Amino acid sequence: MNTVVTSKEEILKTSRELIRQQGWSAVNIRSVAAACGVSVGSIYNYFDSKSELVGAAVESVWYEIFHSTEDRAVFQDTQACIIWMYERMEYGGRQYPGFFTLHSFGFMQEDRSDGKRRMQLAWRHILDMLCSVLKRDAGIRDDAFTEQFTAERFADVLFSLMLSALLRQDYDPTAVLEIIRRTLY
């Protein structure tokens, strides 16, 4: 058995694979060490506890699902961005069945501070990206946003619709695109 893991990313990659194959309950220090072919102590070199390992795995799943695309045009057009996001949500639902519902709302109900914090950071990143796209989209009417109805508030609405779609496992962006068209263009 190896005594040193090549990288933290290898541990997280193995953790994601365990989640895909066996679900969240499969991720613990011993099972990840066994799957990596290393000692338990090697995992502890990177993660102080199971909670820290699971939190990092959660963050890495969110990152994998919503990692930026190579197509920069997606981040210049609100509608293209929404389509891309719903495609990524569908990908996440296929790769990690139950991730969005079991993980997200499990962390919100139980105060697992590190996992909850990491999830909220991922959500903040998505929300900031949505807001940035709204501000960058040259096709949006000049008078679409006001002092009361800001890009930030509309990004909150879009993000809420996205979270609702995640819970329903509804990856069709048609209704959201219609809201965007009627509101902004």
Mean pLDDT by 10 residues, the chain (185 residues): 68 94 89 94 93 88 83 89 95 86 53 66 88 96 96 96 90 96 95
pLDDT score of 108: 45
CATH superfamily assigned to domain 8-47: Homeodomain-like (1.10.10.60)
Answering whether pTM is above 0.85, one says: no
pLDDT score of 35: 95
pLDDT score of 120: 79
pLDDT score of 4: 55
pLDDT score of 89: 93
Distances (CA, A) of 166 to 23, 62, 125: 18, 13, 17
Residue ranges per domain, the chain? 8-47, 59-184
Distances (CA, A) of 102 to 45, 108, 142, 163, 172: 28, 10, 41, 13, 21
Alpha-carbon distance of 22 to 7, in angstroms, equals: 23
